[in-house]
């Protein structure tokens, strides 16, 4: 690489590292901070979706109620029994229609913890209602939906924290600084995994407990389906939705999004140039239409690849690391350590924070009160959605996918005239 091109790339990456990922943050700053809460102002929270992960948000906010001066104003879930139970914990009102929560003018932000196919609609509706948002990962089910969310955010100036809680671990921002400073030299590759070993029923199955379970009388099935294809009540689709592409991207969007986002943060990456996804329904052909074992490789314009392993049949992992010409940076349970080819320690970092939903909510509260930079803003959320959707599309269509920068969409890679040299990210 020519020296001037290297300097341009470094300047780009330095900008990404220090600006909260993308330029739209700059455009939004004045608008969003125009309504920053005072340091002692109470933050009022509403909850949309309180089963599973949604229950985790309820518990996290209860834990922060006194320290972060929170008040809870409304819970919505299409299964009213769930909404009622959470409302009792929070000492507030319950609804089966999420729009009833958005109608509460006093609410400052809402949590959205629903199946993926509802994320974009609810997030956009929340911003239109004047609310800030904490939306679970992935930010949206598809790339166009994520772009719609960012467009609406620019219009409204509302804050959105994407629920990749690992970004509340400072290992990755610290690694980004070390990599930028050249500790491990020119970076060429990274690897990471999310592996599990499921029992005989397979990923996300709850058989036989849900087999033949009737629709609860107070569960609004049509509301749960939303814009997904209409079908009669199916307990497997409701309780095991991560296995079906109408509602989820499976391993990629539920698990890999946690891992690829870490590497994107550490290496200051945005959109991949080319992506391939491989795997299959190898062990549990039980009606699911998403892989039960999967892996992906992403190539990024800065001149590096990222490999993500996702076996659900075997939990033996691989090191989480970034490879450079001068050395290798290893992520550990306590932070990271960088070593040269002979094992000499080049640098190391003891982490603060962690993959913690409480810390992630606290970061949003601090953002609303004093402008603290969000740990997982929408620009990082979009970049993750792009990578995992490209991997899934590669698997579905049996071809490598490429990112069309000009039109901001994924297309078959062979339709693009793409470089094989490092280049500045657009």
* Predicted confidence (pLDDT) per residue in 366-376, tens digit: 999 999 999 99
Which range, of 8-17, 259-268, 348-357, 410-419, averages the lowest pLDDT? Answer: 8-17
| Distance set, CA 244 to CA 123, 203, 253 (Å) | 22, 12, 12
Report pLDDT digits (tens) over 257-308.
Answer: 999 999 999 999 999 999 999 999 999 999 999 999 999 999 999 999 999 9
Strands (E), 240-333: 274-280, 293-300, 304-311, 321-324, 328-332
What percent of the residues of the chain are helix, what percent strand, and what percent coil, each to the nearest 5? 40, 20, 40
Residue range(s) in the chain whose domain bears CATH number 3.30.360.10 = 168-201+247-352+377-415
pLDDT tier, 426 (very low <50, low <70, confident <90, very high otherwise): low
What is the number of other CB atoms lying within 10 angstroms of the CB of residue 145? 21
Closest CA to 388 of 277, 245, 263, 267: 277
The token duo for 59 is: 């518990």
Answer yes or no: is pLDDT of 169 > 50.
Answer: yes
CA atoms within 13 A on the CB side of 63: 13
Has residue 3 got a pLDDT over 70? no
pLDDT at residue 249 above 60? yes
11 Cβ partners below 8 Å, 6+ apart? none
What tokens does 423 get?
């280049």
- Give CA–CA dist 329/62, Å, rounded: 37
pLDDT digits (tens, 9 = 90+) for 102-127: 999 999 999 999 999 999 999 999 99
Those residues with Cβ within 8 angstroms of residue 193's Cβ, 6 or more apart along the chain or in another chain: 259, 308, 309, 310, 317, 318, 320
User: Per-residue confidence at 81, pLDDT binned at 50, 70, 90?
Assistant: very high
The per-residue pLDDT for 39 is 64
- Mean pLDDT computed over every residue of the chain: 92
What predicted TM-score, i.e. pTM, was given to this entire model? 0.92
Above 60 in pLDDT, residue 409?
yes
SS3 395: helix
* Of 61, 28, 143, nearest in space to 410 by CA: 143
Residues 386-403: what's their mean pLDDT?
A: 98
Query: Residue 28: its pLDDT value, please?
Result: 45
Look at residue 122 and give its three-state secondary structure: helix
Nearest partner of 174 among 98, 268, 258, 82, judged by Cα: 268
pLDDT band of residue 256 (cuts 50, 70, 90) is very high
For tokens 């094989």, name the residue: 420
* Confidence check: pLDDT of 20 > 50: no
Which part of the chain has CATH 3.40.50.720? 19-166
Q: Where are the beta strands (DSSP E) in 173-300?
A: 187-193, 274-280, 293-300
Answer whether CATH 3.40.50.11540 is correct for domain 168-201+247-352+377-415: no
Rounded to 5 degrees, what are φ and ψ at 10? Answer: -65, -40
Ranking 34-38, 174-178, 407-411 by mean pLDDT, the lowest is 34-38
Task: Tell me which CATH homologous superfamily contains domain 19-166.
Answer: NAD(P)-binding Rossmann-like Domain (3.40.50.720)
Question: How confident is the model over 388-399, as a mean pLDDT?
Answer: 98
Q: What is the mean pLDDT of residues 70-95?
A: 98
Cis-peptide, bond into residue 138, ω within 30° of zero: yes
- What token pair was written down for 383? 């970049």
Give the count of beta carbons closer than 10 Å to the beta carbon of residue 70.
20
Q: pLDDT band at residue 153, thresholds of 50, 70 and 90?
A: very high
Do the Cβ atoms of 66 and 38 come closer than 8 Å?
Answer: no
**Cα 238 → chain centroid:** 22
Helices (H), 301-377: 357-370
Q: What is the mean pLDDT of residues 61-90?
A: 98
């Amino acid at each position: 690489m020519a020296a001037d091109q290297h300097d341009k790339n470094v300047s780009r990456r330095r900008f990404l590292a220090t600006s909260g990922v993308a330029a739209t943050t700059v455009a939004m700053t004045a608008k969003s901070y125009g309504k920053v809460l005072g340091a002692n102002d109470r933050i009022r929270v509403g909850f949309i979706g309180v089963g599973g992960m949604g229950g985790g948000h309820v518990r996290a906010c209860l834990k922060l109620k006194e320290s972060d001066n929170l008040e809870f104003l409304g819970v919505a879930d299409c299964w009213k029994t769930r909404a009622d139970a959470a409302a009792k914990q929070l000492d507030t009102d319950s609804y089966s229609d999420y729009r009833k929560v958005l109608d509460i003018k006093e609410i400052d932000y809402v949590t959205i913890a629903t199946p993926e196919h509802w994320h974009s609609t609810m997030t956009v509706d929340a911003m239109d209602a004047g609310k800030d948002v904490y939306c679970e990962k992935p930010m949206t089910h598809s790339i166009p939906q994520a772009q719609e969310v960012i467009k609406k955010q620019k219009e409204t100036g509302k804050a959105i924290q994407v629920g990749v809680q690992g970004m509340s671990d400072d290992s990755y921002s610290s690694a980004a600084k070390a990599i930028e400073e050249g500790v491990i030299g020119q970076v060429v590759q990274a690897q990471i995994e999310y592996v599990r070993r499921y029992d005989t029923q397979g990923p996300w199955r709850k058989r036989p407990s849900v087999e033949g379970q009737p629709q609860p009388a107070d569960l609004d099935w049509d509301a749960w389906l939303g814009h997904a294809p209409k079908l009669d009540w199916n307990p497997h689709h409701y309780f095991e939705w991560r296995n079906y592409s109408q509602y989820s991207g499976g391993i990629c969007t539920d698990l890999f999004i946690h891992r690829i986002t870490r590497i994107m943060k550490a290496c200051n990456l945005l959109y991949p140039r080319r992506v391939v996804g491989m795997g299959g329904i190898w062990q549990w052909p039980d009606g699911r239409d998403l892989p039960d074992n999967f892996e992906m490789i992403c190539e990024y314009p800065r001149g590096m690849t990222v490999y993500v392993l996702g076996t659900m049949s075997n939990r033996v992992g691989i090191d989480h690391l970034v490879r450079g010409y001068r050395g290798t940076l290893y992520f550990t349970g306590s932070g990271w350590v960088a070593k040269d080819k002979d094992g000499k320690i080049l640098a190391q970092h003891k982490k603060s924070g962690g993959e913690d939903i409480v810390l992630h909510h606290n970061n949003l509260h601090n953002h609303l009160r004093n402008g603290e930079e969000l740990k997982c803003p929408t620009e990082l959320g979009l970049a993750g959605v792009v990578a995992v959707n490209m991997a899934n599309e590669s698997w579905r269509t049996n071809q490598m996918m490429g990112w069309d920068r000009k039109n901001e969409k994924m297309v078959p890679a062979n339709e693009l005239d793409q470089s094989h040299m490092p280049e500045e990210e657009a």
